[in-house]
Structure 1
Amino acid sequence: MTDLPAAASLGAALDADSALAAFHRMWADLDRIGVHPTGTRRYSWTAEDAALRAWFTAQASARGMEVHTDANGNIRAWWGGRPADGDAGVVTGSHLDSVADGGKWDGPLGVLLGFLAVDVLAAAEARGEFTRRRSLGVVDYMDEEGTRFGVACLGSKLMSGALDPDKARGLTDADGVSLAEAMSAAGADPDRIGRDDVEIIRSGVQVEVHIEQGRQLVGLEAPVGVTSAIWPHGRWEFVFSGLADHAGTARLVDRKDAALPFASTVLAARAVAEELDARATFGRFHVEPGGPNVVPARVVALLDARAATDGVLTELVDRITSAAQEAGAVHGVDVTVSRISHAPVVEFDEELRELHGKLAAESGEYLPEVPTQAGHDSGILAPVMPTSMLFVRSPHGISHSPLEDAADADVIAGLRALVRSLAALAGED
Structure 2
Amino acid sequence: MWAELLPVGRDSGSGGYRRFAWTGADQDCRAWFRAQAEARGLAYEVDRNGNQWAWLGDPEAGDAVVTGSHLDSVPDGGAFDGPLGVVSSFAALDELRRRGAEITRPLAITNFGDEEGARFGLACVGSRLTAGLLSKEQAFALRDADGVSLPQAMEAAGHDPGAIGADPERLARIGAFVELHVEQGRALDLSGDRVGIASAIWPHGRWRYDFHGEANHAGTTRLVDRRDPMLAYAETVLAARREAELAGAVATFGKISVEPNGVNAIPSLVRGWLDARAADEVALDQVIDGVRKAAGEYAERHGIDLAVTRESYTPVVEFEHALRDELARILGRATPVLGTGAGHDAGILSGAVPTAMLFVRNPTGVSHSPAESAEEDDCVAGVLALADVLEGLACRR
Q: Please indicate, yes or no, whether the TM-score normalized by the shorter chain is above 0.5.
A: yes
Find the counterpart in structure 1 of residue 213 from structure 2: 242
Kept in 1, the 8 Å contact 2:215–2:267? The answer is: yes
- Where in structure 2 are the equivalents of 1:142-221 lying within 5 Å? 142-221=113-192
Find the counterpart in structure 1 of residue 258 from structure 2: 287
Q: For residues 335 and 148 of structure 1, what CA distance do their matches in structure 2 show?
A: 25
Find the counterpart in structure 2 of residue 422 from structure 1: 390
Residue identity matched to 2:58:
R
Find the counterpart in structure 2 of residue 83 from structure 1: 59
- The normalised TM-score by structure 1 is 0.88
The total of aligned residue pairs comes to 395
Kept in 1, the 8 Å contact 2:62–2:106? The answer is: no
Q: 2:357 aligns with which of 377, 389, 397?
A: 389
SS at match of 1:274: helix
Residue identity matched to 2:46:
T
Q: CA deviation at 1:121?
A: 0.8
Alignment deviations for residues 314-358 of structure 1 (CA, whole Å, 9 cap, x no partner): 110111111112222332323332322211111111111111222
- Where in structure 2 are the equivalents of 1:28-107 lying within 5 Å? 28-37=3-12, 38=14, 39-79=16-56, 81-84=57-60, 87-107=62-82
Kept in 2, the 8 Å contact 1:94–1:140? The answer is: yes
- Where in structure 2 are the equivalents of 1:200-349 lying within 5 Å? 200-349=171-320
SS at match of 2:120: coil
Q: CA deviation at 1:187?
A: 2.6
SS at match of 1:40: coil
Kept in 1, the 8 Å contact 2:22–2:157? The answer is: yes
Q: Cα gap change, 1:182/1:260 in structure 2, threshold over 3 Å: closer, same or farther?
A: closer
The answer to whether residue 325 in structure 2 is matched with residue 357 in structure 1 is no
Find the counterpart in structure 2 of residue 399 from structure 1: 367
The answer to whether residue 334 in structure 2 is matched with residue 366 in structure 1 is yes
Q: CA deviation at 1:140?
A: 0.6
Alignment deviations for residues 284-316 of structure 1 (CA, whole Å, 9 cap, x no partner): 122233222223333111111111111111110
Residue identity matched to 2:59:
P
Q: For residues 188 and 92 of structure 2, what CA distance do their matches in structure 1 show?
A: 22
Find the counterpart in structure 1 of residue 95 from structure 2: 120
Kept in 2, the 8 Å contact 1:222–1:366? The answer is: no
Q: For residues 46 and 293 of structure 2, what CA distance do their matches in structure 1 show?
A: 47
Identity of aligned residues (%): 50
Kept in 2, the 8 Å contact 1:239–1:336? The answer is: yes
Q: CA deviation at 1:223?
A: 1.3
Q: 2:377 aligns with which of 402, 409, 412?
A: 409
SS at match of 2:214: coil
Kept in 1, the 8 Å contact 2:124–2:348? The answer is: yes
- The normalised TM-score by structure 2 is 0.95
Q: CA deviation at 1:180?
A: 1.8
Q: CA deviation at 1:240?
A: 2.0
Residue identity matched to 2:285:
T
Q: For residues 47 and 329 of structure 1, what CA distance do their matches in structure 2 show?
A: 45
Q: Which moved more, 1:372-381 or 1:248-257?
A: 248-257
SS at match of 1:375: coil
Kept in 2, the 8 Å contact 1:356–1:417? The answer is: no
Residue identity matched to 1:420:
D
Kept in 1, the 8 Å contact 2:95–2:384? The answer is: no
Q: For residues 359 and 328 of structure 2, what CA distance do their matches in structure 1 show?
A: 13
Q: Which moved more, 1:398-407 or 1:48-57?
A: 48-57
Q: CA deviation at 1:247?
A: 2.3
Q: CA deviation at 1:45?
A: 2.1
Q: For residues 420 and 265 of structure 1, what CA distance do their matches in structure 2 show?
A: 48
SS at match of 2:87: helix
Q: For residues 73 and 18 of structure 2, what CA distance do their matches in structure 1 show?
A: 6
Q: For residues 310 and 237 of structure 1, what CA distance do their matches in structure 2 show?
A: 19
Q: Which moved more, 1:320-329 or 1:105-114?
A: 320-329
Q: CA deviation at 1:392?
A: 0.5
Q: For residues 314 and 329 of structure 2, what CA distance do their matches in structure 1 show?
A: 30
Q: CA deviation at 1:148?
A: 2.0
Q: Cα gap change, 1:171/1:334 in structure 2, threshold over 3 Å: closer, same or farther?
A: closer
Q: CA deviation at 1:167?
A: 2.2
Residue identity matched to 1:65:
L
Which residues of structure 2 form unaligned runs of 5+? Answer: none
Q: Cα gap change, 1:291/1:32 in structure 2, threshold over 3 Å: closer, same or farther?
A: closer
Q: CA deviation at 1:243?
A: 2.7
